[in-house]
Amino acid sequence: MATAEFGQAVRRWRDRLSPETAGLPAGGQRRAAGLRREELALLAGISVDYVTRLEQGRASHPSPQVVEALARALRLSATERAHLFRLAGLAPPGPEAVPTHLTPGVQRLLDRLTGTPVAVYDAAWTLLVANPPYAALMGDPSGWRGHQRNGVWRHFLGPGTRARHTPESLRAFETALVADLRAATARYPTDQRLQRLIAELRAHSDPFAALWDSGAVGRHDAARKTIDHPHVGAVTLDCDVLTVAGSDLRIMVYTAEPGTEDAERLALLTVLGTQSLGTQSLVG
């Protein structure tokens, strides 16, 4: 059970974080330099009412997902994040769990790539953060919960993505996804959330089960992908996946060759998307 100190800590860390540091505009009159509750709620993907009740000690059982989202939105260090989990009456995620903490360096990278579609995934391909251009390109993930946020689950059991595939590229992509999950289970063999994900995929997706049982081995390589966007049409982009050493995060970045029609379409959909999504990051 969360203590009153949990709400006090959230308020204290909210007060110290400026909108600019959090990637938000600082417009309008502000009584304090820190974030407003509304801004923290947007960044964390939870309601303003829930943030208010947490800060006032009227909500005493925040889930690990909520605590993780608050820690990410507040840009807490690893030590501060562990402290927030303990104040919530929860055990901080240990080294045996798939890491989900965004390092300060990764967060600063996101801050600087405001015009480029970027998303950060954990080692099991669960979406942690998607910036507004990425959401404009691939669809708004802010309402996704649980396994809906996992790219492997969405591919094999969910609606898939807007990316086109040939039969050959689809086979390579699926093989790489399954190989990544297999590698993640070797590094984090006691992570229960990862085990539940794999069990559900094996039980409900014959293609996944066949690849898993075959011991398929593959890897993600840089590629050119065509995204079928509902408003601007087909956009062909370079897709690079960067791995962050030490934190096991995957940063997916989409870029267009300058001066091309694809670059113009990417710029247009980014403007259209960010107008409707606002300037906040979309986090789980």
pLDDT band, residue 274 (cuts 50/70/90): low
The pLDDT value recorded for residue 153 is 96
Average pLDDT of the segment spanning 160-176: 92
Does one domain contain both 67 and 128? no
The pLDDT value recorded for residue 284 is 31
What is the tally of structural domains in the chain? 2
What's the rounded Cα separation, in Å, for the pair 200 and 195? 9
Does one domain contain both 135 and 272? yes
In 3D, which of 1, 7, 14, 81 has the Cα closest to residue 42?
A: 14
CATH number where 266 lies? 3.30.450.180
Q: Is residue 158 part of a domain?
A: yes
Give the domain range for residue 141: 104-283
Last residue of a domain, one of 87, 122, 141: 87
Does one domain contain both 128 and 261? yes
In 3D, which of 223, 233, 81, 89 has the Cα closest to residue 166?
A: 223
Does one domain contain both 37 and 166? no
* Each residue's pLDDT tens digit, 123-166: 999 999 998 899 999 998 888 888 999 999 999 999 888 999 99
Among the ranges given (29-33, 180-184, 202-206, 258-262), the one the predictor scored with the smallest mean pLDDT: 29-33
Does one domain contain both 171 and 275? yes
Residue 167 has pLDDT above 90, yes or no: yes
The pLDDT value recorded for residue 27 is 66
Angle ∠(22,137,119) on CA atoms, nearest 5: 45
> What average pLDDT is seen over the chain?
88
Q: Is residue 30 part of a domain?
A: yes
Joined tokens for residue 256: 């267009």
In 3D, which of 265, 267, 199 has the Cα closest to residue 232?
A: 265
The pLDDT value recorded for residue 202 is 96
Does one domain contain both 82 and 115? no
Last residue of a domain, one of 58, 87, 116: 87
pLDDT band, residue 77 (cuts 50/70/90): confident
* Each residue's pLDDT tens digit, 183-225: 999 999 989 999 999 999 999 999 999 999 998 777 777 789 9
106 or 277, higher pLDDT:
106
CATH number where 24 lies? 1.10.260.40
DSSP annotation string for the chain:
---HHHHHHHHHHHHH--TTTTT----S--SSSS--HHHHHHHHTS-HHHHHHHHTT------HHHHHHHHHHTT--HHHHHHHHHHTT-PPP-TTSPP-PPPHHHHHHHHH-TTS-EEEE-TT-BEEEE-HHHHHHH---TT--GGGGBHHHHHHTS---SB---HHHHHHHHHHHHHHHHHHHHH-TT-HHHHHHHHHHHHH-HHHHHHHHHT-------EEEEEEETTTEEEEEEEEEEEETTTTEEEEEEE--TTSHHHHHHHHHHHHHHHHH-SS-EE-
* Each residue's pLDDT tens digit, 4-29: 899 999 999 999 988 888 777 766 67
The pLDDT value recorded for residue 227 is 95
Last residue of a domain, one of 32, 61, 87: 87
228 or 4, higher pLDDT:
228
